[in-house]
Amino acid sequence: MSHVDDGTLHAYLDGELSPPEAQGLEAHVAQCLVCRERLEEERALIARATELLARAAPPERDLPPFRPGDIQPPARLWWQVRLPLAWAATIALALGIGTYVGERGVARLEPTAHERPTIVADQLARTAPAPGPATASAPDSVFAGQRQRVSERRGRVSKPAASPAVGSVIEEKSREEMLRQPAADSIARPEAAPVSADRYLASKAAAPTPAHREMAQLNAYGGAVKGPPIGVDSARLLLGSDPLAVPDLPVRGIYRARMIGYTGMVIVEQELDSSTVIEVINGRRSPLALDAVVVSAAGEVRRDTQSPGARAMLNARAADSLAAAARPAPMPAADEEKAKHAASGLFVDVRGPLSPDSLAALKRLLRPLRP
Amino acid sequence: MSDVSADSLAEIYRTTYRALVRFLYRKVWDVERAEDLAQEAFARAVVHKPENARGWLFIVAANMARDEARRAARERRHLTLLTAESQEGAPASDEVFQAEQERAQMRAALEQLTPRDREVLLLWDSGLSYSEIAAHTGLAQGAVGTTLARARRRLVEAHEAGEKGEHVARG
């Protein structure tokens, strides 16, 4: 086998190779010193790039509530508010252009006017196939709004730099209003917000607690980055065996996830009770992974992105994974399946808004998830 | 179309909103704007009900950020005067200043990547899979790994070069 190219090494380290491909690569790397060294170099490079990118992250803020039922009416309202202003702006600008620049200025603008609708069409072609005049239906209003902005922009560019851009002030104001509305709305109802924030949870009679929100943060920025939902078959394929879960707890969803040092990672979300959700993390550790590298690199990233609570949880987890790696699988012989799981280089952990003791207890209960 | 219920969109919001803000932030470099644009992307998703909402959101967000960048470029000449004045009045603490500088350094490093390399890197860092990135950028799925490898290397190199440059300038 010839040497492995960089792209494949990165795909492997990103957990994006299929299990047979990954096995092929592992077989080659096991007997090729050059590729083994390159693999470690690329692993360090990925960790470094991830750490650098984390520095360019925006400051952490609370997740604003999402109320799908409520968004549509305000969306219509924004356009209603916006459109008259926008028309007013256009008329004012049209007059302004006529007075200030005259026909020469308008002629100069033609390219801009052509360029903009292409982008708008590009964005909206999928959903607004028949661009018509503004009607009450939302997509058309969106389109009309966009077109409106086109004509405003067209006017604005023509303005001589020295004169104050009246049109742009009006446009900015209406746009601001449109965008601020949901924010103001959410501030107005701080208590109601978290409950109605997530219909999914509400339908399951689960009231998100602060700890729950913290977990959501953890999902986004923690060591294991949660990806799209997947089926149990895909999970099995990723791990090469059944994912572990706490028996007899309802499974809310299975997600693909990834973390440096793991070639396949799956998170099983389970409901402990009506208000508590735990996550069982199943990871297929790269056989060549260096634990020290994994833990220190992940720690660096965490330092600036985690809230203290989440950090404590993560640190507990990191410590646990180190300890788990240090002792050579003292699993009870009775549980053959679990022993096999551990022996095949799989990493399992449970996280959630619970004490470390409870999490450890849950971890002991884990069994392979069967459909 | 009908398979996108409000529930699944709420779930996508829960798991994707922050990643979307992060993605947008690294394009517009303004938290407020990034959050506004992310909100607008989700508001549009509610109206349009796209089939692959996650991928769709990132495409819409990328388009909005591009429009934003164009607008910003047009307005820059006006803004330079304004910001120069407004920053004088607010003395930043050392910590804030440090973080701000790191961010500026990273921004400079990111801007040295080609647009495609940067896009692929930012999408991956937002949690998209290789196949989602391929669908977004039009790259073959097999080329995503190669692009990421190059993007990561250039980012690290550009950052190191930036740090060195700064030390030279200081010393």
pLDDT in tens, B110-163: 999 999 999 999 999 999 999 999 999 999 999 999 999 999 999 999 999 988
Q: Do B12 and B84 have their domain in common?
A: yes
Higher per-residue confidence, A260 vs A287: A260
Minimum distance, in Å, between the CA of residue A92 and any CA atom of chain B: 20
* Closest of A57, A354, A353 to residue A214, by C-alpha: A353
- Number of independent structural domains in chain B: 2
Contact A7 B149 (CB under 8 A): yes
Q: Do B35 and A42 touch (CB under 8 A)?
A: no
Indicate the residue type of A266. V
Are residues B101 and B73 both part of a single domain? no
The per-residue pLDDT for A122 is 44
Residue A40 identity: E
Which positions in chain A touch B152 (Cβ < 8 Å)?
Answer: 10, 45-46, 48-49
User: What pLDDT was estimated at residue A161?
Assistant: 42
pLDDT classification of B70: cutoffs 50, 70, 90: confident
Residue at a domain's end among B33, B56, B90: B90
Helices (H), chain A: 6-13, 19-31, 33-55, 68-100, 102-124, 138-158, 166-188, 192-197, 199-203, 210-221, 232-239, 291-305, 308-326, 336-343, 356-365
Residue B113, SS3 per DSSP: coil
Asked whether residue A79 carries a pLDDT value surpassing 90, the answer given is no
Name the closest residue on chain B to residue A141, using Cα atoms: B47
From the CA of B39, how many Å to the nearest CA of chain A? Answer: 8
CA dist A56 and B22 (Å) reads 9
Residue A129 pLDDT exceeds 50: no
In whole numbers, what is the pLDDT of chain A averaged over residues?
63
Instruction: For residue A254, name the pLDDT band (cuts at 50, 70, 90).
Output: confident
pLDDT on residue B37:
92
Task: State the ipTM, two decimals.
Answer: 0.84
Query: Where does a domain end: B90, B111, B141?
Result: B90
Q: Are residues B70 and B102 in the same domain?
A: no
The total of other beta-carbon atoms located within 10 Å of residue B101's CB is: 12
**Model confidence over A14-65: pLDDT tens digits?**
999 999 999 999 999 999 999 999 999 999 999 999 999 988 888 777 787 7
pLDDT in tens, A100-110: 655 554 444 44
When pLDDT is cut at 50, 70 and 90, the band that residue A350 belongs to is confident
| Percentage of residues in chain A having pLDDT higher than 90 | 13
* Residue pair A285/A261 in contact by the 8 Å Cβ criterion: yes
Q: Residue B19's domain is classified under what CATH number? A: 1.10.1740
In this structure, the number of other CB atoms found within 10 A of the CB of residue A30 comes to 11
Asked if A9 and B149 come within 8 Å (Cβ–Cβ), the reply is: yes
The verdict on a CB contact (< 8 Å) between A123 and B63 is yes
Q: Rounded to the nearest 5°, which phi and psi values hold at A217?
A: -60, -45
CA–CA dist B68, A317 (Å, integer): 41
SS (H, E, C) A45-108: HHHHHHHHHHHCCCCCCCCCCCCHHHHHHHHHHHHHHHHHHHHHHHHHHHHHHHHHCHHHHHHH
How do residues A287-310 score in pLDDT, each as one tens digit?
Answer: 654 443 344 334 444 444 445 555
Cβ under 8 Å to B: A residues 53-82: 53, 55-59, 61, 63-64, 66, 68-69, 71-72, 75
Q: Which of B17, B24, B29, B46 is best to mutate for the A interface (most A CBs within 10 A)?
A: B46
Q: What is the rounded CA–CA span in Å between residue A163 and residue B142?
A: 53
Write phi, then psi, for A285 (nearest 5 degrees).
-75, 135
Within this chain, do residues B60 and B116 fall inside the same structural domain, yes or no? no
B112 and B162 part of one domain = yes
Q: Out of A53, A216, A253, whose CB is closest to B125?
A: A53
Please write the tens of the pLDDT for every residue from A309-330: 555 555 555 444 444 444 444 4
A63 alpha carbon, distance to own chain's centre? 12
Q: Could you give the CA distance from residue A36 to residue A3 in angstroms, rounded to a whole number?
A: 10
Last residue of a domain, which of B69, B90, B111? B90
A137 CB near a chain B CB, below 8 Å?
Answer: no
CA–CA min distance B166, chain A (Å) = 17
Q: What is the mean pLDDT of chain B?
A: 84
Asked if A52's CB is within 8 angstroms of B159's CB, the reply is: yes
What is the maximum span of chain B, computed from C-alpha positions, in angstroms? Answer: 63
CB contact under 8 A, A7 and B153: no
DSSP states of A253-288 as a string?
A: EEEEEE-TTEEEEEEEEEEEETTEEEEEEEEEE-TT
The more confident residue out of A36 and A98 is A36
Contact A292, A318 (CB under 8 A): no
Q: Do B42 and A157 touch (CB under 8 A)?
A: no
Confidence at residue A294, expressed as pLDDT on a 0 to 100 scale: 40
**Nearest beta carbon to residue A55 from set B7, B67, B102:** B102
B69 and B110 both lie in a single domain? no
Whether A68 has a pLDDT exceeding 70, the answer reads: no
CATH of the domain at B157: 1.10.10.10
Alpha carbons A226 and A105: distance in angstroms, whole number: 52
Encoded tokens for A130 = 């028949």
Which pLDDT value is given to residue A360? 85
Residue A208 identity (one-letter amino acid) = P
Closest residue in A to B55 (Cα–Cα): A228
Same domain for B79 and B23:
yes
Closest by Cβ to A71, choosing from B34, B43, B142: B43
| The one-letter amino acid at B154 | R
Is A7 in Cβ contact with B148 (below 8 Å)?
yes
Q: What is the pLDDT of residue A243?
A: 85
Residue A217 is given by DSSP the state H
Q: Do B85 and B7 fall into the same domain?
A: yes
CA separation for the pair A28, B29 (Å, rounded):
43
B3 and B59 belong to one structural domain:
yes
In the structure, what pLDDT confidence band is assigned to residue A250 with cuts at 50, 70 and 90?
confident
pLDDT of A165 higher than 60: no
pLDDT at A95 over 60: yes
CA-closest candidate to residue B131, choices B54, B68, B70, B69: B54
Which among A262, A347, A325 is positioned nearest to A298, based on CA atoms? Answer: A262
Q: B131: nearest CA in chain A?
A: A16
pLDDT at B133: 95
Q: Out of A67-71, A107-111, A178-182, A257-261, give the one with best mean pLDDT.
A: A257-261
Shared domain for B83 and B98, answered yes or no, is no
What average pLDDT does range A121-139 have in this prediction?
Answer: 42
For A162-176, what is the mean pLDDT?
45
Collapsing DSSP to helix, strand or coil, A367 comes out as strand
Q: Which amino acid is at A200?
A: Y
Q: Which of A132-146, A240-254, B156-170 has the highest mean pLDDT?
A: A240-254
Residues B120, B145 within the same domain: yes
Q: Which residue from A49, A122, A157 is facing B152, i.e. has the nearest CB? A: A49
Residue-number span of the structural domain to which B118 is assigned: 93-171
3-state DSSP assignment of residue A126: coil
Q: Do B128 and B86 reside in the same domain of the chain?
A: no
B3-43 pLDDT tens trace: 456 678 888 998 899 999 999 999 988 888 899 999 999 98
- CA distances for A27 relative to A1, A8, A20, A36, A346, angstroms: 10, 14, 11, 11, 18
Q: How far is A51 from chain B (nearest CA, A)?
A: 10
In the three-class reduction of DSSP (H, G, I as helix; E, B as strand; rest coil), residue B50 is classed as coil
- What pLDDT is attached to residue A314? 53
CA angle A259, A260, A261 (to 5 degrees): 110
